[in-house]
């Protein structure tokens, strides 16, 4: 099955290359210049990005970046707070437990 796909792709490539050589590159460049902006705009629109207002889109991206960084900073602070408080409290609890257990005898 894969061999058949490869043969088909190779045949299409050969036909495309021969067509480009016969007619020149100008029609390909013109077609690309027409098709690419339309395809990019359609793709970005489907992703929810407004191509008509690039400054607003940039502001949205900057906001998302700052929100992501703030979230990362909050999670780091949370982890450090847990480490700073749980470790000493755990040690204090262990010492208290051992003191009660062995001191009561």
| Same domain membership, residue 64 and residue 25 | no
**Domain coverage including residue 33:** 1-52
Q: Which two tokens stand for residue 84?
A: 């700073």
- Residue 46 sits in the same domain as residue 67: no
Q: What is the pLDDT of residues 40-69, one digit of tens each?
A: 888 988 988 888 888 888 888 899 999 999
**What's the mean per-residue pLDDT of the chain?**
81
Q: Which of 4, 1, 6, 28 is nearest to 17 (CA)?
A: 28
pLDDT in tens, 29-42: 788 888 888 898 88
CA distance 70 to 64: 10
Together in a domain, 76 and 61: yes
Same domain, 78 and 35: no
> Can you tell me the distance from the alpha carbon of 63 to that of 42, in angstroms, rounded to the nearest whole number?
23
Per the structure, the count of domains in the chain is 2
- The residue that leads in pLDDT, 87 or 103, is 87
Average pLDDT over residues 68-75: 87
Measured in whole angstroms, the distance separating CA 6 from the mean position of its chain's CA atoms is 31
């Amino acid at each position: 099955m894969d061999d058949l796909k490869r043969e088909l792709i190779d045949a299409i490539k050969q036909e495309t290359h021969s067509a480009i050589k016969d007619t020149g590159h100008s029609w390909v460049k013109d077609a690309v210049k027409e098709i690419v902006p339309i395809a990019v705009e359609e793709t970005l629109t489907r992703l929810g990005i407004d191509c008509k207002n690039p400054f607003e889109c940039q502001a949205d991206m900057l906001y998302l970046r700052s929100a992501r960084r703030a979230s990362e900073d909050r999670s780091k602070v949370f982890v450090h707070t847990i480490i700073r408080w749980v470790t000493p409290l755990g040690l204090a609890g262990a010492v208290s437990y051992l003191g009660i257990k062995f001191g009561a005898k």
